Structure 1
Amino acid sequence: MYDTWMRYLTPGQAHHRLGLVCLGVGLQHGCLPTVGPRTLDHHVAVVISAGGGWFRTADGRRTTVNAPALLWLTPGVTHHYGPDPRTGWDESFVDFAGPATATYTELGYIEPDRPVVPLSDAAGARAVVARIAGAARRGNPLLEVETGAAVHELLVVLRRSRADTDAEGDPVLNALARDACRPMSVAEHAARHGMTPAALRTVVRRAAGRSPKDYLLSIRLGRAKELLAATELPVAAGARRVGYDDPAYFSRLFARRVGMPPVRFRAQQARAVPGGVAGTGTGGAAGGDVPHPEHPPPPRSAPSKLPHHDHE
């Protein structure tokens, strides 16, 4: 016996240009029928949240599936799978397509070469799928955009839920982020972790979908933008803050990656009030102190409402 619910959608061409579209969503559990062998022309993420079964690839290799797990069904690749007929499994699935799938694959969020991915927890993914199912109700005027946006979120949640991903983030990435603004080469960063540069590239590429150099650069430029927008630090001083002793090189690099030189970015983004905390003597003009991006200031408490008194 099994229970199944599913809905299929047909987004228009304009929705495809948003990057991702949801083509279908389903929630089912029990001793479901075997799927395939079959080949699809779009992607499907199948989340197994309870039970177990098997998955067979086109070359005949059979893999045992134990919940929580993710099955990747990718376009043009034959797949064949099913739950254990004695116990069944709990399954949710989302069919999706769009030009952004190529980028998500390049970044490692979609893994065609790893069709069965163990998860540490399926609750987050199930919650997103449930929201997609809710948004897929007939008559929802935001149907295609709402479900498409949720597919982006699902890919992020699935990436974070992999069993080989630390809940606190990859320790190597955390260390690189912490030391990103120090004037160190990639080789020096690798040496600090007891790795060769090639080994560091492998780790960062798998965790962040980019090279160590690009990962470090993105953090440095992000911090440089914050200093330019929220302080009155000279460009050269800001460059030194983010690890560049040569302000001319920093300006060329900034312009190449951001699309405009630092002075133009500041002119567009600068705030009327310098960064820092008013009344502390640490404003942008005095030294360029701004709250660190990892430690934003707490929100202010809402002012209490005074009771209204009618006057005679």
Structure 2
Amino acid sequence: MYHTWMRFFTPGPAHHRLGLVCLGVGLQHGALPPVGPRVLDHHTAVVISAGTGRYLHPDGRPTPVTAPALLWLTPGTPHHYAPDPATGWDEGFVDFAGPATASYTELGYIEPDRPVVPLSDATAPRAVIARMARAARLGNPLLEVETGAAVHELLVALRRARADLAPDGDPVLRSLARDAFKPMSVADHAARHGMTPAELRAAVRRGAGCSPKDFLLGIRLGRAKELLAATELPVAAVARRVGYDDPAYFSRLFTRRVGTPPVRFRALQGRAVPGGWSDRVPDPADRPVLRSPGRRTG
């Protein structure tokens, strides 16, 4: 005995231009029948939250599937999978497509060469799928946009749930972030961790989906923007604070990556206030309160 619920959608051209669209969502559990062999023309994420089964590769080689786990079904790749007929499994699936799939693959969020991915916990991905299922009610005018946005969220949730990666980055990434503003080369960072530059590149690519240089640059430029917007420090001083001794090089780099020179960015985004900005992440439960001028409390 098994139970199946599913809905399929046909987003329009404008929805596809948003980057990702949801083509279908389903929730199934029990001794489900085998799937395939078949080939799809879109991506599908199958989240297994309970049970066991197996996935057959195109060459016939089987890979055991033990929940929690993710199955990646990618366009043009033959696949064949099934739960254990004695126990079945609990799955949620999402069919999706769009031009953003190429970028998510490049960043390592979608892994065509790794069809079976162990997860540490399927709770967060299944919660996203459940919201997509609720959005699939008949007559929902926001259906395509709501479910398309949820595909982005699902990919992030699946990335965080991978069993081989810490949710917020491994110690190497945390160390790189901590030392991002020091005038150190990639080779210097690698040596600090007892790694070769190639090993560091592989670790950062696996954890952050980019090169160490781009990882560090993103942190440096983000901090530079904050200093330009919230302080009156000269551009040269901002450059030094984020790890660049040559302000001219910093300005060229900032302009190339941000699209506008530092001085122009400050003119557009400057919000200097007495006391400066806080580095503390705000607590959503402790919202700021606006008080009328001259009003005293306490």
Query: What TM-score do you get using the length of structure 2 for normalisation?
Result: 0.94
Are residue 57 (structure 1) and residue 57 (structure 2) matched? yes
Gaps of 5+ in 1: 278-282, 284-289, 305-312
1:89 and 1:300 mapped to 2: Cα distance? 43
1:297 and 1:156 mapped to 2: Cα distance? 22
User: Match of 1:95, as an amino acid?
Assistant: D
Q: CA deviation at 1:206?
A: 1.0
Which whole-Å deviations, capped at 9, do the CAs of 1:70-118 have from their partners, x for residues lacking one?
0000000000000000000001000000000011000000000000000
1:69 and 1:115 mapped to 2: Cα distance? 10
Partner of 2:150: 150
Partner of 2:42: 42
Partner of 1:136: 136
Partner of 1:115: 115
Over 2 Å off, 4+ runs: 274-277, 295-304
User: Match of 1:130, as an amino acid?
Assistant: A
2:166 and 2:146 mapped to 1: Cα distance? 29
Instruction: Report the CA distance shift for 1:296/1:68 in structure 2 as closer, same or farther (over 3 A).
Output: closer
Q: SS in structure 1 opposite 2:218? A: helix
Partner of 1:296: 281
Which whole-Å deviations, capped at 9, do the CAs of 1:7-45 have from their partners, x for residues lacking one?
000000110000000000000100000000000000000
2:192 and 2:257 mapped to 1: Cα distance? 27
1:126 and 1:300 mapped to 2: Cα distance? 29
Which whole-Å deviations, capped at 9, do the CAs of 1:111-165 have from their partners, x for residues lacking one?
0000000000000010000000001111000000000000000000000000011
Q: CA deviation at 1:247?
A: 0.6
1:253 and 1:187 mapped to 2: Cα distance? 20
Partner of 1:280: none
User: Match of 1:296, as an amino acid?
Assistant: V
User: Match of 1:115, as an amino acid?
Assistant: P
Partner of 1:200: 200
Contact 1:51–1:88 under 8 Å retained in 2: yes
Gaps of 5+ in 2: 292-298
Q: CA deviation at 1:168?
A: 4.3
Q: CA deviation at 1:167?
A: 3.5
Contact 1:276–1:291 under 8 Å retained in 2: no
Partner of 1:180: 180
Partner of 2:296: none
Partner of 2:169: 169
Q: CA deviation at 1:301?
A: 5.9
Map 1:1-312 → 2, pairs under 5 A:
1-271=1-271, 274-275=272-273, 277=275, 290-292=277-279, 295-296=280-281, 299=286, 302=289
2:199 and 2:274 mapped to 1: Cα distance? 40
Q: CA deviation at 1:297?
A: 5.6
Contact 2:228–2:262 under 8 Å retained in 1: yes
Query: What TM-score do you get using the length of structure 1 for normalisation?
Result: 0.90
2:167 and 2:217 mapped to 1: Cα distance? 24
Instruction: Report the CA distance shift for 1:91/1:245 in structure 2 as closer, same or farther (over 3 A).
Output: same
Aligned sequence identity (%): 76
Contact 1:48–1:90 under 8 Å retained in 2: yes
CA RMSD of aligned residues (A): 1.4
Q: CA deviation at 1:302?
A: 4.7
Contact 1:36–1:79 under 8 Å retained in 2: yes
Instruction: Report the CA distance shift for 1:300/1:73 in structure 2 as closer, same or farther (over 3 A).
Output: closer
Query: Alignment length, in residue pairs?
Result: 289
1:297 and 1:148 mapped to 2: Cα distance? 28
Q: CA deviation at 1:169?
A: 2.4
Which whole-Å deviations, capped at 9, do the CAs of 1:190-229 have from their partners, x for residues lacking one?
1111101110000001111111011101100000000000
Q: SS in structure 1 opposite 2:206? A: helix
Contact 2:169–2:207 under 8 Å retained in 1: no
User: Match of 1:257, as an amino acid?
Assistant: R
Instruction: Report the CA distance shift for 1:85/1:178 in structure 2 as closer, same or farther (over 3 A).
Output: same
1:297 and 1:147 mapped to 2: Cα distance? 28
